Chains A and B, each alone.
Chain A
Amino acid sequence: MSVVTDTPGVTAFEIPTGREEAWRFTPLRRLRGLHEDLTGARELPVTVDAAPGVRVETVPVGDLSPSAAALDRISSLVRSAAASATVVTVPRDLVAGRPTIVRLEGPGTSPAAVGVVHVVAEPFSEAVVVIEHVGSATAGTNVEVQVGEGASLTVMSLQDWADDTVHVGRIHAVVGRDARYRSFVATLGGSVVRLVPTVEYSATGGDAELLGLFYADAGQHLEHRSLVDHTQPHCRSNVLYKGALAGDPALGETGIARTVWVGDVIIRAAAVGTDTYELNRNLVLTDAGRADSVPNLEIETGEIVGAGHASATGRFDDEQLFYLQARGIPADVATRLVVRGFFADVIGRLGVPEWESRLLAAIDAELGMAAEVNEDDD
């Protein structure tokens, strides 16, 4: 397993060639140079709609403490190229009344654009932060998250990009003592999207849930690589990623929907009492889909509560379609039921009802259908 080191500075990282373990699935030629050079990059325009009590500041990147994130070449290029960062702070003990929305809007595909967002949940606070990505861009993003002692934070990253967007990003979280962190990554739009959600723990008792869904159409490459590094005793992690692939067989090679999920979990020798599980499931809807699913579990101590992983990629089941149609349900509605059903458990774990409905509506849109109208007619 390849675990990136936290050596700082751009030059420490060679330009990836595609032969490296971490890059072997990524179509580097489609990255428009994001992995080579970001000089001259602009910043992604940011708008924030903050919940009452939540602080939002724009800070020079130089004022930020050196990155705690385990970096790779692109994230270090992003940090060098960005002049400022958006810092969202949930003050100590605050229970935010509603989600805080950070919206990054693509300004077009050239030149490249970068975005740096820090989310700090101070001790014993509770909040939901949604980072929404829309529009056209060649984007590199770094999100750094700190979850303070006893805090509970959900960070949702929604990739609702236009079709021509290329996006490479990291979402790194440091989870404090007895803190709860929930990361939800939903990738629907974009030509190439490669996201690396990572978690480390700074003290005991942390609980991290890494959830994700992705829906790849013809020509999309959607790649998610999670890494949970258990360095502290008595922490939990649970990773659940679900993907659907709906390429267009009529378009040949360019019609293929491509997805990659790599889930790394390391349990270090000191991390006794760790409890971890990771699961990836992919649903292939047409003949033009290719899903890679690679769970990696590295265990350096036997004194753990549990460690497991599972991964499976399956074809859309025509017997399900037949069963639903045999009850009068038209094929398109039946397909929607099956696909919504497939994503139901992961969406249900987001815990933010309004965004759960939005995700379901987004999946309906992917299926080319209008949202359900008769759900709540009484």
Chain B
Amino acid sequence: MATLEIRDLHVSVDSDAGEREILRGVDLTVRQGETHAIMGPNGSGKSTLAYSVAGHPKYRITRGTVTLDGADVLAMSVDERARAGLFLAMQYPVEVPGVSVSNFLRTSATAVRGEAPKLRTWIKEMRSAMDALAMDPAFAERSVNEGFSGGEKKRHEILQMELLQPKIAILDETDSGLDVDALKVVSEGVNRVRDTGEVGTLLITHYTRILRYIRPDFVHVFLDGRIVAEGGPELADELEANGYDSYIKAAASA
């Protein structure tokens, strides 16, 4: 069973004011089959955690370890991490002009699976995955993320998750900017992958809304670069009712 282990992770960025520490000791274990929610206010460092695990060059790891089934994730290049089974659905997916969605997806599937999927079966596979996410087939011929609406970008991210079948998927604010209908469609996509029991999901969110559709097993409250509280799904209900204020006050008085 695949396990992602994050231990005492400290991460800094270079800012105009010099080096700035954003993650200040994160401990988290995500196993295949489990769903974790990380909830925290804007600016608390949630995306930094996601990008650091994925290997974005902007973030410097100053202390701690990240392993996937014992293998040192921090020693891997970005693409090696993805091929090892890590997936990050990004909060702000990047436009790649002139590269069609279908070419991109097939290149990606080829890399992750280790061989090119047969063209005919691949087209069927892609079509049915797009269909399940209520995406127009014409979408496949558009340039990656170029001119996509917020909702289209998020569907496209989840489409990739469905096709790449990662061991561990980190979804960074996949819910933000979606209307209720789109949120349902996207959540169903995530749940289809979860139902295989093959994926460990780390759901990063600012709101509790998505947790109505994707029920987490564990909830972690994230504040100022650290996990400050942990619990079951009931913790999300408590946050829904009371917000982050009590945690912010507790942190301030600590």
Contact = CB atoms under 8 A, between A and B. Distances in A.
Interface stretch (A158-166, A249-257, A318-326): A318-326
Interface string A350-378: 00000000000000000000000010111
A327 interface: yes
A342 interface: yes
Nearest to B93: A323
B110 interface: yes
B94 A342 contact: no
Given A324-B96, A341-B143, A342-B98, A331 B120 contact: no
B107 A329 contact: yes
A262 to B, nearest CB: 24
Contacts of A317: 94
B94 A320 contact: yes
Contact of A342 (B78, B97, B119): B97
A215 interface: no
Contacts of A333: 107, 111
Given A330-B79, A378-B118, A378-B119, A341 B99 contact: yes
B104 A325 contact: no
A326 B88 contact: yes
A26 B90 CA distance: 45
Interface in B87-113: 88, 90, 93-99, 103-104, 107-108, 110-112
A68 interface: no
Interface in A301-343: 317-320, 322-331, 333-334, 337-338, 340-343
B62 interface: no
B90 to A, nearest CB: 7
B146 to A, nearest CB: 10
B120 A318 contact: no
Contacts of B104: 324, 327, 337
B116 A337 contact: no
B197 interface: no
B111 A330 contact: yes
Nearest to B56: A322
Interface of A: 317-320, 322-331, 333-334, 337-338, 340-345, 374, 376-378
Given A344-B98, A378-B120, 12 more contacts: A323-B90, A324-B96, A324-B104, A325-B55, A333-B111, A337-B96, A337-B107, A338-B99, A344-B99, A374-B116, A377-B119, A378-B119
